[in-house]
Amino acid sequence: MFHRSERLFLRPAFPEDGEAILASIGDAGIVRNLASAPWPYGITDARSFAAMPQDQRLPHFLVTLPGTGIIGSAGLCAHEGQAEIGYWIARPHWGQGYATEAAEAVLQIARTLGHRRVMAGHFTDNPASGRVLRKLGFVPTGRIMPRFSRARDGLADAVEYTLDLQCEIASPVRCAA
């Protein structure tokens, strides 16, 4: 599966992407904000990420910027029985709206696949991710839950969010009430 947004191209990872993935994510400031990535993150980890099989209901993508290459990743995964969105962007590309744009593309795909609700979360010490989620229309559930982080090698508090994809399309006013 492939998707084109205004500035980005989302595509599956290929085996030859390992070095480029490592060059983009090999930063403790990025990896520590992800639940499943280890630190230190090495070429074996990047190659394993590139080789992950695709789930047709929960696709994941490399985020590429035409003329630049891989600048991150975004996709869906299962968490506690629900679809959850996740994303990361390489540090040189922070603050340019790429995380929001990539996540919005994934949400469009989620709607197309028939998902009714998508969950999300961010560690409490990563408020920038919370701003991205709120821009996308996610609403905090009111729960802050401990979540395991491989890079931190332990639990860290995470703020939970939800987005009702059906409500957003049917009537944003009705859903806000």
Task: For residues 102-117, give the mean pLDDT.
Answer: 97
> Mapping DSSP to helix (H, G, I), strand (E, B) and coil, where does residue 38 land?
coil
pLDDT in tens, 14-34: 999 999 999 999 999 999 999
Confidence of residue 168 (pLDDT cuts 50, 70, 90): low
Indicate if the pLDDT at residue 175 is higher than 90.
no
> What tokens appear for 64 in the block?
């590429």
The domain spans of the chain are 3-176
Place of tokens 């290929």: 14
Percentage of the chain with pLDDT > 70? 94
- Tell me what pLDDT residue 57 has: 97
Indicate if the pLDDT at residue 42 is higher than 90.
yes
Percentage of the chain with pLDDT > 90? 93
- Tell me what pLDDT residue 177 has: 38
> What tokens appear for 32 in the block?
């520590």
Confidence of residue 123 (pLDDT cuts 50, 70, 90): very high
pLDDT in tens, 133-157: 999 999 999 999 999 999 999 999 9
> What tokens appear for 122 in the block?
């961010």
CATH of range 3-176; options 3.30.420.40, 1.20.1250.20, 3.40.630.30, 3.30.930.10? 3.40.630.30
Cβ contact 64:11 at 8 Å: yes
- Tell me what pLDDT residue 135 has: 97
**Overall pTM surpassing 0.75 (yes/no):** yes
Check whether the bond before 40 is cis (ω within 30° of 0): yes
Confidence of residue 170 (pLDDT cuts 50, 70, 90): very low
